[in-house]
Amino acid sequence: MSKGPNETDVLVGARVRFRRIELGLSQTQLANALGVTFQQVQKYEKGSNRIGASRLHAIAEVLRVSVSYFFPDAGEAVDHDARPGEILGLLGIPGAMDLLRV
């Protein structure tokens, strides 16, 4: 078993980051709402720290989404060639979110 983040951790973290930015929240604002440090939010968003169930529930409340928002739809066929974590990871490139807003 590898020690790095798995694909699900990266996907959930990327969705947290995407929604946080979509709402115009900083990492510090999200961290304060959760009672953690902004460094912890950074680790969650990178997928390097897993988000426990109760913490994910709290994040969902702050970001005004359901917990299921953070996971691919279970009922849809999954294209294993298209990696959602990698695609959402592209949003981490400086200016990517600005391009999407245009």
Task: Check residue 77 and give its pLDDT.
Answer: 44
pLDDT tens, 38-60? 999 999 999 999 999 999 999 99
Q: Which two tokens stand for residue 67?
A: 């917990």
Residue 12 to residue 94: CA distance in whole angstroms: 20
Task: Check residue 75 and give its pLDDT.
Answer: 44
Q: pLDDT category, 4, cuts 50, 70, 90?
A: confident
* 60 Cβ neighbours under 8 A, 6+ residues apart: 66, 67, 69, 70
Q: Give 50's DSSP letter.
A: P
What pTM value is reported for the model?
0.73
Domain ranges of the chain: 7-97
CATH fourth-level superfamily of 7-97: lambda repressor-like DNA-binding domains (1.10.260.40)
Task: Check residue 8 and give its pLDDT.
Answer: 87
